[in-house]
Amino acid sequence: MRSIRIRTPSKDSLLIEKGNFKVIAGPCSIESEGLLDEILPYIKEAGAHIFRGGVYKLRTRADSFQGLGTSLYQPIREARQKYNLPFITEITDIRHIEELTDFVDIFQVGSRNMYNYPLLKELGKTKTPVLLKRAFSATLEEWIAAAGYLEKEGNPNVILCERGIRTFEQKLRNTLDLGSVAFLKKETDYPVIVDPSHATGRRDLVLPMALAAIACGADGIMVEVHPRPEEAHSDGLQSLDLTEFKDLMVRVERLRSAI
């Protein structure tokens, strides 16, 4: 597996590499500055390596909350330094690349943008690591081909993220395709992260699917966490509260040391 160096605020680097499991955690979207100080010390203490949080949200409906945008840049810069945690956020627009570069350590390309080849080409011209989520309709071949757009432009720092696909199943938000994770680990050298939050849409299924992700060889997980999930502006039903996140970390460590 290729190893990927993630910039950190303290300039020590964090390596995504074989055998070095990573946990990315944080809210679906950063709904206020205050949320950063509520969540970051807690997830750090529990063992998370990277914090996530939406600044620009791509929502199905135009009148849904779209993220706080530029007003978050400075609070995130400060929180990133204060807690010495690298930051990942979704990049939704080519025009944001430059202004996000000084404080975004990994660009997330969301499921809706996996086929946005102009965006992938521009991100390919940077050296910033990219977490490329699988489109909910993408075959493995299409997903791997999308990664090729980043590499062709010169950015080899590609991490794949399985977040569930659409199938005939209606009970869950998506169908988590762990066979794909096992396949990618056998057939490619990309690090693969599993997102059990968007994959299930249900808080109570995040833990079992996180453990299953470890068992099938994932290199990390990305989990949504909110101190008061019932108040979240987006994805509250699938967000763990702080205690549930801490419990998940204990279980993750226990399974990791057992296998």
Residues that bind ligand PEP (CB under 6 A): 28, 54, 110-112, 133, 163, 198
Structure tokens at 84: 């010495």
Interacting partner of 49 out of Mn ion, ligand PEP, none (Cβ under 5 to 8 A depending on kind): none
- Ranked by CB distance to Mn ion, the top (closest) residue is 28
Q: How many residues bind Mn ion (CB under 5 A)?
A: 2
CB of 105 to ligand PEP, least distance (A): 16
Query: Which residue's structure tokens are 């071949």?
Result: 141
- The three-state secondary structure class of 22 is strand
Name which of 17 and 241 has its Cβ closer to ligand PEP: 241
- Kind of pairing between the strands at 50-52 and 22-26: parallel
CB of 169 to Mn ion, least distance (A): 19
CB of 232 to Mn ion, least distance (A): 9
CB of 66 to ligand PEP, least distance (A): 12
Verify binding: residue 235, Mn ion, rule CB under 5 A. yes
Interacting partner of 111 out of ligand PEP, Mn ion, none (Cβ under 5 to 8 A depending on kind): ligand PEP
Residues forming a β-bridge with 6 = 14
Verify binding: residue 28, Mn ion, rule CB under 5 A. yes
Residues forming a β-bridge with 109 = 132
CA angle 99/102/105 to nearest 5° reads: 110
CB of 238 to Mn ion, least distance (A): 7
Indicate the helix (H) or strand (E) that contains 196: helix 196-200
Q: Distance between CA 23 and CA 194 in Å, rounded?
A: 10
Q: How many CB atoms lie within 10 A of CB 61?
A: 7
Name which of 28 and 252 has its Cβ closer to Mn ion: 28
Cα–Cα distance list, 162 to 26, 58, 81, 127 (Å)? 17, 18, 29, 22
Interacting partner of 226 out of ligand PEP, Mn ion, none (Cβ under 5 to 8 A depending on kind): none
Site residues (vs Mn ion, CB under 5 A): 28, 235
